[in-house]
Amino acid sequence: MKLRVTLKDPDVLYDEIQRAVALEVEALSDLGDEEKAALKESREGATRKLCSHWFEYSEYLTVEIDTTSRTCVVVPAREK
């Protein structure tokens, strides 16, 4: 049997992208504050764009559970 479940959390993706990018950029000690801010903004945008492949409206994630094969996969946003 296969079933699809849609999970919704409006803040978790946004918050995690911000956190992960901030950690990565802050580790670059050779950049000034303005450069870091610009880089953070750019990387956050690029990461949100990539995640839009799986997350619809940055908050809905659908997974398909197959009880026969005992698997769970993320359904791309365009297939919902």
- What percent of the chain is predicted at pLDDT more than 90? 92
Full-model pTM: 0.84
Domain that holds residue 52: 2-79
- As for how many domains the chain has, the answer is 1
* Residue range 1-16, pLDDT digits in tens: 999 999 999 899 999 9
User: SS in 3 state form for the chain?
Assistant: CEEEEEEECCCHHHHHHHHHHHHHHHCCCCCCHHHHHHHHHHHHHHHHHHHCCCEECCCEEEEEEECCCCEEEEECHHHC
